[in-house]
Structure 1
C-alpha cells in the first residue's frame, strides 16, 4: 500500500468517526458568527430604548433590577456609555441559574427578566462547545477538533495534483459532470478554498477544549505559564453609600474615555474591590479590554490592568477569540467565517456520499467464464 493510500484510508475513517460531531459543531458555529447582530434584531426590546432627558444613577437601576426578584444575587451590569439608546443589562444568579434583567436607564422600568440558559444563542453555544452534554460533550468536541485538523491536512494532501497541468481541474467544479463527480468536486475543491480558514478556527478552538493548549500560548510567547490575576482586596472595609456605583461608573469612564462596552462587577464579598472592564471599540481588532479596580465604599482606584501593559502571551490569547469567531477584522472576515463554516458543515455530508458511492462501486464483479467450444475434427481415411 502506497503512502497516499494510507493517507486516504486515514482521511476516510477519521471522517466517518467524527463526521456527525463536525457537522453539528460547524453548523452551530455558522449560526454564532452573526450572533450579536441577529440577537439585537430579534430581541430589540432587550437592548434598545428611546433615549430620555437624563439617565438615572446606576445605584437606582441596580435597585430596580433587584426588585424583579429579590432572590436573585446580582453579579454584574453591562452598559454602553457611548450609546444613549442602549439598556442597562444586569446579570445575576439564583439556584445555579443565570438571569438577564434589562432595565430602561431613563425610567428605571424593568423591561424583561429571563433565564440566560434558555435563550436561543446560549443553547446554540452550549451545543457548539459541549453538544449539550457538559463535560462529556466537551471531551467529544475536543477530540473531534483534533481529528478535524488531521482531516484538513490529509485532505490537502489528497487534493494535491500530481502534475501542475491538472491544477485547473482541481480548482473548478465541473457542474456538468456526473452526480458522483460533482459531489467529489464540491468536497475536495470546496474544502481546498476554505482549508486555511477552517484550520485556523479549529486550531484556535482547542483553547476552550484543553488547558494544556491554553497554557501553551503563554509558554510559547512569554516563556512561562499564565500568571493568574486576583482582584485586589479592599484596604479599608466600609459600606458602600448611596450613589457609590454611579461614582465608580463615572470615574471609570473618565479613566477610559474611549467608546466601548463597560461591565461593572459587583463584589462577591465585602473584602473584595469592585472590578470594571471596558472593551475598546476604537481598537483595530475586537476583544481589547482594560481592567480597573476600585475600593468598595471609598471608590478609590486600587489598581489597573491595561491592555497595552499586558504580556505578549496575553495579547495573543486576547486575539484567539476574534480569530475563532471571524470577527477579527469586522464584517469582511465574518462573512468569510460564515461561508467557511457552511462549507465545513458540508464536508461530512459529501464525504459520506463519496464513500457510499465508492462502496457501491467496490462490489465484487462477476467473473465471466469463457465458454470452450469443442469442435469435432473430421477423421481422414487411412
Structure 2
C-alpha cells in the first residue's frame, strides 16, 4: 500500500466514524460562539438594562440586598461591570454534591435577584455536550480529546492528499467550475472549503488536546513557566462511610446556609481595589466573597482595554485594613504565562476580535457539512465501485458464453 492510498483510506475511515460525532461538536460549538449575545436578546431587562442616572451599589450593598430576599443562600463570587447597563452577576455557593452553584443576576441598585435567565439550561447542556459529550467529566474530556486528534488528522491528511505536485497549480485549489454538477461539484466544494477551514481547525484541535489530556497539559504548562498544582487523589469511600460523609456535608451546608451571609465587610477592600486599578481603571472584576471576616479577598479583573477576555489581573486585599497582599498584573507575566492565558481566546476565536469569532462560528458550522458531504461521497464511491464490478463480471461472463449459430427460415 502506498502512502497516498493509506492516507486516503484513513481519511475516509475517520470521516465516516469520528466525523459523525464531530457533527455534534460542530453544532454545539457554533451555538456557543454567540452565547452571550443570544442570552441577552432573549432576556431583556436581566443581563442588561437601560442605564438611567443611578449610582451602582457597592459589593456590600449588593450582598445585603440579596441576603434580605434569599437569607438561606450565599453568594460565592460576584462579578461587577464598569459598563453602564450591565447587571452584576453572582454565582451561588453550590449545593451538596454539586460542582458549581446557580448563576443569577442582581439589581444593580438594590441587590435583589432578577428574573431567571431563559435559555441558561439549554446552553449548559450544549456546553456539556461540546466538552464532554454528556458523559462524566473525566472520561468525557478524554473522548473529546480523541475526537480532536481525529479532526486534526482529517484536516492534515486532507491537506496532504491535495498537495500540489506543481506549485504553479496552487491557484487551482480555490477555483470552482460553475459548469460542474453533481458528485464532482460536491467533491470540489468539500476540498475547497476544507482547505479554508484548515486555518481554524488546527488551533481548535490543538487547544482541545491540551485541555483533554493531563499528560499534555501538565508538561506544557510547566514548560511555559506556570506548572499546575498537583491534583489530590480521590479517596474511595464506600457503604456506610460514604453515607455518613454525605450526611455530614449536608449538615454543614445546612448550618452554614441557615446563618445567612457572613458578616464580612468588602467595601474597605473594594475601595482599596479601585485605588489599585488606577490609572488604567477596570472593566470587569470578579470578587471572591470570603467565608470568614479575616480572610483576604481576591479580585480578578480586566483592564479597560484588555488584550482578550482572559488577560486577567489578580489582586488580593485584606478585608479589614485594605492592605494589598498580592498584586499580579497580566502585562507583567512572562511570555509563557501570557501564552497559556491566550489558549481559551484562541479556541473561541476571540483573540482576533469579532472577525475571529465569526470565522470560528463558520468553521464549526462546516463540520456537519463535511460529515454529510463525506458520507455522500463515500456512498457514491461505493456505488460506482459496485457498478464497475458488475460491468467487469458481465464482460467476463459474456466472453465465455458461446454464440448460438444462425438458423435459416427454411430450417
State the TM-score, normalized to the length of structure 2. Answer: 0.80
- Unaligned residue ranges in structure 2 (runs of 5+): 231-260, 407-411
Matches for 1:285-296 after TM superposition, within 5 Å:
285-296=308-319
1:218 alignment partner in structure 2: 221
Shift of 1:264: 0.3
CA distance in 1, matches of 2:74, 2:347: 32
CA distance in 1, matches of 2:375, 2:273: 55
- Unaligned residue ranges in structure 1 (runs of 5+): 229-239, 377-382
Indicate yes or no: 2:181 matched with 1:178.
yes
From the superposition, tell whether residues 195 and 241 of structure 1 become closer, same or farther in structure 2 (CA, over 3 Å).
closer
Equivalent residue in structure 1 for 2:133, among 131, 134, 155: 131
Q: Is the 8 A contact 1:61 1:108 kept in 2?
A: yes
Shift of 1:124: 1.6
2:114 alignment partner in structure 1: 111
2:320 alignment partner in structure 1: 297
Shift of 1:99: 1.4
CA distance in 2, matches of 1:34, 1:314: 27
CA distance in 2, matches of 1:109, 1:301: 30
From the superposition, tell whether residues 220 and 54 of structure 1 become closer, same or farther in structure 2 (CA, over 3 Å).
closer
CA distance in 2, matches of 1:51, 1:250: 24
From the superposition, tell whether residues 345 and 256 of structure 1 become closer, same or farther in structure 2 (CA, over 3 Å).
farther
Matches for 1:255-334 after TM superposition, within 5 Å:
255-257=276-278, 258-268=281-291, 272-334=295-357
Indicate yes or no: 2:159 matched with 1:159.
no
- Structure with the bigger percentage of strand: 1
Post-superposition Cα deviations, 1:10-66, rounded to whole Å, max 9, x if no partner, equal 111122221122111122111222222222222232222343432333212112223
1:56 alignment partner in structure 2: 57
CA distance in 2, matches of 1:115, 1:296: 35
From the superposition, tell whether residues 133 and 337 of structure 1 become closer, same or farther in structure 2 (CA, over 3 Å).
same
1:236 alignment partner in structure 2: none
- How many residues are matched? 362
**SS across alignment from 1:263:** strand
**SS across alignment from 2:342:** helix
CA distance in 2, matches of 1:189, 1:349: 15
- Structure with the bigger percentage of helix: 2
Runs of 4 or more above 6 Å deviation: 240-243
Q: Is the 8 A contact 1:244 1:299 kept in 2?
A: no
CA distance in 2, matches of 1:186, 1:71: 58
CA distance in 2, matches of 1:300, 1:176: 73
From the superposition, tell whether residues 17 and 375 of structure 1 become closer, same or farther in structure 2 (CA, over 3 Å).
closer
State the TM-score, normalized to the length of structure 1. Answer: 0.86
From the superposition, tell whether residues 89 and 183 of structure 1 become closer, same or farther in structure 2 (CA, over 3 Å).
same
Structure 1, 47-56 or 326-335: larger mean CA deviation: 47-56
From the superposition, tell whether residues 269 and 144 of structure 1 become closer, same or farther in structure 2 (CA, over 3 Å).
farther
